[in-house]
């Protein structure tokens, strides 16, 4: 999600409050790196409370107004979901003048517009954005950098629900603890997906309430093996790794 895209969306003049609400919801789903917007209609219905017909009509209206631009890209399993870009390069419509303002006030407002720098937002992340406001993005970036060389799964998009999940873990354990846990993943054969019937840790598993403490406590660390090709030595009780596989249906 791009806070700049949201700020821009709130400034737009739309045909109705329903259309504007749809625009705000779309900008909430904007990819924080590219600014691309491609939520499903079902997701928009869920977060806005509007029905499918209303969402489709509102998006068509936003396209007609030029507020949303069809990039020509298509995504999803069937490659039928349109990928949009917010027309943030456009200049917002000026607010109508009020007749009760004096001509002197009008001149002052005109001078102010001529002298103040433009505050139009730019797509993507702002360097001035507080670190606390983009820690979820940093967690996703750190996970992606770690996971890709190991062929571990990674989220392509930071949805509102995923953002809330990451922020909850940051609130519980602290940002530094999260990054330490990510750095520890490559050191564990279990988390790399090399010891059981699963493909290794992903962010859904990593952001469970109890996973990060277990990683930091070493509960997923490699155990001593009885032979190079044998499974973990039995201790009479299931390890955290074994319990995790069982919970995943492995």
| CA dist., res. 241 & res. 247, Å (int) | 10
pLDDT category at 70 given cuts 50, 70, 90 is: confident
SS3 33: coil
Length of the chain: 250
Within this chain, do residues 77 and 144 fall inside the same structural domain, yes or no?
no
User: Is 154 part of any domain?
Assistant: yes
pLDDT category at 31 given cuts 50, 70, 90 is: confident
Tens digits of residue pLDDT in 3-27: 777 788 888 888 789 988 898 888 8
Within this chain, do residues 146 and 72 fall inside the same structural domain, yes or no?
no
Domain CATH number, residue 33: 1.10.10.10
Q: Which residue has the tokens 């990674």?
A: 154
| CA dist., res. 6 & res. 23, Å (int) | 9
Task: Give the CA radius of gyration of the chain.
Answer: 24
pLDDT category at 95 given cuts 50, 70, 90 is: very low
What DSSP state is assigned to residue 232?
A: B
Domain that holds residue 10: 3-86
Within this chain, do residues 148 and 65 fall inside the same structural domain, yes or no?
no
Within this chain, do residues 152 and 239 fall inside the same structural domain, yes or no?
yes
This prediction has a pTM of 0.42
DSSP line for 48-106 = H---HHHHHHHHHHHHHHTSEEEEEEEETTTT-EEEEEE-TTSPPPPPPPPTTS-HHHH
User: Is 97 part of any domain?
Assistant: no
Within this chain, do residues 240 and 160 fall inside the same structural domain, yes or no?
yes
User: Is 119 part of any domain?
Assistant: no
User: Is 40 part of any domain?
Assistant: yes
Sheet strand arrangement including 36-37? 36-37, 81-86, 68-75
Look at the chain and report how many structural domains it folds into. 2
Within this chain, do residues 21 and 77 fall inside the same structural domain, yes or no?
yes
User: Is 239 part of any domain?
Assistant: yes
In the predicted model, is pLDDT for residue 66 greater than 60? yes
User: Is 120 part of any domain?
Assistant: no
Tens digits of residue pLDDT in 143-193: 999 999 999 999 988 899 999 999 999 999 999 999 999 999 999 999 999
Please identify, among 86, 117, 139, the residue that sits at the C-terminal boundary of a domain.
Answer: 86
Strands 81-86 and 36-37: antiparallel
User: Is 67 part of any domain?
Assistant: yes
Nearest of 145, 250, 160 to residue 205 by alpha carbon: 250
pLDDT category at 67 given cuts 50, 70, 90 is: confident
Within this chain, do residues 243 and 137 fall inside the same structural domain, yes or no?
yes
Nearest of 24, 31, 22, 26 to residue 2 by alpha carbon: 31
User: Is 104 part of any domain?
Assistant: no
- Quick one: tokens of 184? 């520890």
């Amino acid at each position: 999600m791009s806070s700049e895209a949201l700020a821009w969306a709130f400034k737009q003049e739309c045909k109705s409050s329903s259309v504007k609400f749809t625009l705000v919801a779309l900008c909430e789903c904007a990819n924080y790196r590219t600014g691309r917007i491609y939520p499903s209609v079902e997701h928009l219905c869920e977060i806005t409370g509007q029905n499918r017909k209303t969402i489709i009509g509102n998006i068509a209206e936003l396209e007609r107004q030029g507020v949303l631009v069809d990039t020509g890209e298509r995504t999803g399993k069937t490659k039928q979901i349109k990928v949009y870009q917010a027309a943030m390069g456009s200049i917002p419509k000026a607010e109508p003048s009020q007749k009760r303002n004096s001509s002197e006030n009008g001149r002052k407002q005109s001078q102010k517009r001529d002298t103040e720098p433009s505050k139009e937002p730019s797509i993507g992340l702002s360097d001035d954005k507080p670190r606390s406001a983009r820690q979820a993005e940093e967690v996703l970036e750190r996970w992606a950098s770690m996971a890709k060389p190991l062929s571990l799964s990674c989220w392509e998009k930071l949805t509102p629900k995923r953002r809330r999940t990451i922020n909850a873990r940051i609130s519980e354990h602290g940002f530094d603890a999260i990054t330490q846990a990510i750095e520890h993943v490559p050191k564990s054969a279990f988390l790399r997906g090399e010891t059981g019937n699963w493909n290794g840790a992903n962010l859904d598993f990593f952001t469970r309430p109890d996973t990060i403490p277990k990683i930091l406590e070493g509960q997923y660390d490699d155990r001593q093996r009885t032979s190079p090709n044998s499974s973990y030595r039995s201790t009479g009780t299931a390890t955290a790794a074994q319990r995790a596989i069982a919970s995943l249906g492995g």
